[in-house]
């Protein structure tokens, strides 16, 4: 397959008239051409799905290597793109949470409580998950309880201790916010190119040590 023809702006001259599948193929071609130019891959056919893990491996290695060299542009390009996407998505979520009367810290805490293995957390566990002090976690929990989104559950092993669990109203609120957020996040992410999406994935894999 021949290389896509660029108009100098990173897009194919005929991209506007292509169907979505064709545009996606062009995007992948441009992304792998960039990898080729950076000597991340040594050949330039359109990569098949079976070669995708190999491409990811090369890209992650290139990012790791770039971090250890004087020229760190590739590494910081990945960092910048990943942070841009994450900050944008989190801002969308936080705005919708605030519309429903929850600050970001309370919304995130409610997610941590509901998303935990047993659907409940001790205050110290919530503090660890949120990376905040136990005193602050206790205050956040009290606010959620006062709003009717969380409740104290006695600990069977230690009657002096309580778990913080989510109420049915808390679950409904999380689902309502998620439904409101979904369309906006999907609209935003559809504006991203294939290479931008892949770079975010690469950087998240890099951050967790893959």
pLDDT digits (tens, 9 = 90+) for 143-167: 999 999 999 999 887 767 899 999 9
pLDDT at 181 > cutoff 70: yes
pLDDT-above-90 percentage for the chain: 40
Mind listing the pLDDT tens digit for each residue in 37-67? 444 333 333 334 444 554 555 566 666 676 6
pLDDT greater than 70 at residue 93? yes
Give the residue, 10 or 84, on which the prediction is more confident. Answer: 84
68 phi/psi in degrees, rounded to 5: -95, 5
Rounded Cα–Cα distance for residues 24 and 40 (Å): 21
Query: Cα separation of 52 and 202, whole Å?
Result: 12
Which helix H or strand E contains 57, and what residues bound it? Answer: helix 52-67
Radius of gyration of the chain (CA): 23
Across the strands, what pairs with 152?
Answer: 164
* Domain spans of the chain, in order of start: 15-89+184-207, 91-165
Confidence band, pLDDT 50/70/90 cuts, at residue 209: confident
| Residue 112: pLDDT over 80 | yes
Mean pLDDT of the chain: 76
Q: Are 37 and 74 in contact, with CB atoms under 8 Å apart?
A: no
pLDDT of residue 156: 80
Distance from C-alpha of 35 to C-alpha of 54, rounded to nearest angstrom: 12
CATH topology of domain 91-165: Arc Repressor Mutant, subunit A (1.10.10)
> Has residue 34 got a pLDDT over 70?
no
3-state helix, strand, coil in the chain (%, to 5): 65, 5, 30
């Amino acid at each position: 397959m021949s290389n896509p023809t660029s108009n100098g702006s990173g897009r194919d001259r005929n991209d506007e008239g292509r169907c979505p599948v064709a545009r996606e193929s062009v995007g992948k071609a441009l992304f792998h051409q960039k990898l080729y130019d950076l000597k991340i891959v040594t050949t330039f056919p359109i990569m098949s799905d079976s070669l995708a893990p190999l491409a990811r491996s090369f890209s992650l290695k290139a990012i790791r290597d770039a971090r250890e060299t004087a020229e760190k542009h590739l590494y910081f390009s990945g960092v910048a793109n990943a942070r841009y996407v994450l900050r944008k998505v989190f801002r969308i979520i936080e705005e919708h949470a605030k519309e429903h009367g929850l600050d970001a810290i309370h919304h995130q805490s409610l997610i941590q409580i509901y998303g935990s293995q047993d659907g409940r957390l001790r205050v110290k566990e919530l503090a660890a998950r949120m990376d905040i002090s136990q005193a602050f976690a206790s205050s956040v929990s009290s606010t959620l309880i006062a709003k009717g989104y969380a409740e104290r559950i006695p600990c069977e092993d230690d009657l002096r201790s309580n778990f913080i669990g989510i109420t049915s109203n808390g679950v409904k609120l999380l689902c309502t916010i998620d439904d409101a957020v979904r369309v906006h996040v999907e609209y935003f992410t559809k504006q991203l190119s294939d290479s931008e999406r892949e770079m975010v994935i690469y950087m998240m894999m890099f951050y967790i040590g893959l």
